[in-house]
Amino acid sequence: MAGKKKSRPVVTGLVLLALVGTSGYLTVELRKQEEPGVTEVRNVGVLEGGRSTDASTDTGKEAWSRLENPARSVLRGADGQIKAVFTDGARIATLSGPARTFQEPTSTASKVSTTDWVRLMPEKWSKGADKEKWFKEWYAEYRNSKEDDIFAFAFQYVAGAPQKKDGQGTVIAGDANFGPLNTSGTEGGDLRLEQSDFYDYLGVPYPFRDGVVGQPESMRARSIDCSGFIRMVLGYRARHPLMSSDTSGDGLPRTANGMARSKQGVDILPLAGITAQDRPSAIDQLQPGDLVFFKLDTRTGQRLDHVGLVLGHDTEGHLIFVSSREEVNGPTIGDVGGVSRLDGNGYYAKTLRSAKRL
């Protein structure tokens, strides 16, 4: 079984030595939160940025318009405020709703206050889908819904989250570990085992659509690594199809590398390569709910080895993501091992390589 979670002190100072949680290996890195002399990538946070390709179509109370980079449809209310964004080729939708604040005070001072609610539509969006029956029914159900969305699901696995059970008594949510202790590992040397998928957390077999049945390992109970966390949130909880591996079946692949290189969803920040020179030069296209992929460990070769979910801007204007990490033993937006910012020159900002909207 995975060990007890460590306390999560807030990390300060220019330099810290920490364990790096990845989906392939664990390394010790010298991490600088800000590195002088290196041009920072800053995010302006313009959700509706990009050139409009046609005029709005006013329905009296709401108006639709089209934007590029990526191609998407934007729905505005009579007051001109954005009510929803739908991206061509993606099932992820961002809707405006009641304000919420996400925070993890034991690990970071960052707070993300947002009116964004991220949900998975039953079909991929395309231009003109607002006139289709499936969308009208779906939007009527969720436009003002306070039912748990993808962000709510994600925060049901951070430190201290209470357990939730389904109708069969299976624990489907609650404080999650990253993975069990590695008996041959050390601090700075693969302390925790990876390869804990969502069904390991659940402790029940899971039948995939290709006929493979995922069998949980008891020592991985209540554990989900970085890609297992994404598969739990977007797959098991939000009901996106899941592959049994990176190569078998259809849906969301098993690993961070498989997800990044798959044909699922829309490439928002296309993968150019894995080197430091391949870091995206701008991240303005990112929006809440996007998957972000990182290259943390040289030992994983050409593979991307970490994945997270864009949450939104914190109260200081930084773009924050949530992911399951080894150094804090579970899902976090914390600062341990590197601040969870995608802008600036922190550890994760510098190792960002691509992004996808599912």
pLDDT in tens, 167-218: 999 999 999 999 887 776 555 556 666 889 999 999 999 999 999 999 999 9
Please give the share of the chain, as a percent, with pLDDT higher than 70: 80
How much is the pLDDT for 52?
Answer: 47
pLDDT beyond 90 at 81:
yes
Cα(242)–Cα(58) distance, rounded to whole angstroms?
38
Written as six digits, the tokens of 130 are 């607002």
Domain boundary, last residue among 147, 181, 212: 147
Question: 309 with 323: CB under 8 angstroms?
Answer: yes
Higher-scoring residue by pLDDT: 324, 298: 324
Do residues 270 and 338 both lie within one domain? yes
Q: Which range marks the domain in which residue 273 is found?
A: 15-43+155-357
Question: 54 with 356: CB under 8 angstroms?
Answer: no
Total-model pTM: 0.85
Do residues 26 and 143 both lie within one domain? no
Tell me the backbone φ, ψ of residue 348, rounded to 5 degrees.
Answer: -75, -35
Do residues 201 and 224 both lie within one domain? yes
Instruction: Dihedral sign for Cα 154, 159, 161, 162, please.
Output: positive
pLDDT digits (tens, 9 = 90+) for 124-180: 999 999 999 999 999 999 999 999 999 999 999 999 999 999 999 999 999 999 988
Do residues 57 and 162 both lie within one domain? no
pLDDT digits (tens, 9 = 90+) for 263-297: 999 999 999 999 999 999 999 999 999 999 999 98
Do residues 30 and 71 both lie within one domain? no
Higher-scoring residue by pLDDT: 73, 184: 73
